[in-house]
Amino acid sequence: MNKFKVAICQMLVTDNKEENLSKAEEMIREAKREAAEVIILPEIFNCPYNNEYMVEMAEDYPGKTTDMLSSLARELQVYIIGGSIPEKAGDKVYNTSFTFNKNGELIGTHRKMHLFDIDIEGKITFKESDIVGYGEEVTVVETEYCKIGVAICYDMRFPELMRLLALKGAEVIVVPAAFNTTTGPAHWHETIKVRAVDNQVYFVAASPARNMASTYHAYGYSTIINPWGDVVASTKETEAIVYGEIDLDYVKKVRQELPLLKHRRTDLYTLEEL
Ligand SMILES: O=C(O)CCC(=O)C(=O)O
């Protein structure tokens, strides 16, 4: 089984949780009709990406959103990488991605490790760490196809983490993300391309659609890049499902022809997970 089809549901997220969940369900069902086997949602898909909403709408695991993802995965016999949601754990909130296998079992939980605390003069200020706790684990999930590294948005700006995912065996890296109309045009395409090329993986970056009625204007442009750096599939800022084929033989081929991972000078430098 060296090929499989992935789908990114680039959905429009509003401040109505019920609407967001129905939209996610509708798009997941549509992706299944198109024979996707791994279906991916964007970062913070059940509420707006905004500190007040994230606190107000945070859910425990298991909860309404994760129950829905799990039962859809089981019913439709697909993997679901459930974007991310604000997860309540005790008195903390995390920005967390839950992954379910075809039996609806939870096979991965990634809590965003790098929090988006930025202040770009005259453009955008965001301080996620005011309300979100730091994740502490590197996440690689085992699927029947291959290992998939999962990280969330700002996490992808840290090449060390992306490299660790590849060193832990990931042949695909999936990143639910929500760049914005300042950092998106500046860095989105370049970052996902270079992470794919550096680590010789398929890189799947899943954004919400842009909602100008919301306080945070997501960039959109969900994209799948292959290990050579070619765009497999992409879209613009409006709602859409992006489909692409992952070819694991191609990962092998690129890694054989240009053996970057083997040519690292680990006698001179190392990268380790503590
Ligand atoms: O890195 C960026 O430019 C955007 C990051 C972000 O929006 C996030 O981490 O949610």
Q: Tens digit of pLDDT for each residue in 215-261?
A: 999 999 999 999 999 999 999 999 999 999 999 999 999 999 999 99
Supply the residue whose CA is at minimum distance from atom 5 of ligand 1.
154
Closest CA to 162 of 198, 188, 135: 198
Single-letter amino acid code for the residue at 83:
G
Measured from the CB, is residue 124 less than 6 Å from ligand 1?
no
Mean residue pLDDT across the chain: 97
Cβ of residue 202 lying under 6 Å from some atom of ligand 1: no
Distance 258 CA to ligand 1 centre (A): 31
Distance of CA 157 to the CA centre of its chain: 13
Mean pLDDT computed over 30-55:
97
Mean pLDDT calculated for residue range 140-163: 98
Q: Could you give phi then psi for residue 32, rounded to 5 degrees?
A: -65, -40
Is there an atom of ligand 1 within 6 Å of 97 CB? no
Strand pairing report for 147-150 and 170-176: parallel
Asked if residue 95 lies in contact with residue 117, where contact means CB atoms within 8 angstroms, the answer is no
Separation of 76 CA from ligand 1 center, angstroms?
31
What is the Cα–Cα distance from 50 to 48, expressed in whole angstroms?
Answer: 6
Burial label for 274, CB within 10 Å (0-12, 13-18, 19+), is: exposed
What confidence tens digit (pLDDT) does each residue in 44-99 have?
A: 999 999 999 999 999 999 999 999 999 999 999 999 999 999 999 999 999 999 99
Mean pLDDT of 201-219: 97
Q: Where along the chain do its domains lie? A: 3-257
**Ligand 1: distance of its center to the CA of 141 in Å?**
23
Q: Which of 116, 114, 161 is nearest to 139 (CA)?
A: 161
Q: Is 43 in the pocket of ligand 1 (CB under 6 A)?
A: yes
Cα(242)–Cα(231) distance, rounded to whole angstroms? 12
Q: Is residue 1 predicted with pLDDT exceeding 90?
A: no
Average pLDDT value for residue range 179-206: 98
CA quadruple 218, 44, 142, 235: dihedral sign:
negative
Question: What CATH code would you report for 3-257?
Answer: 3.60.110.10
The pLDDT value given to residue 83: 98
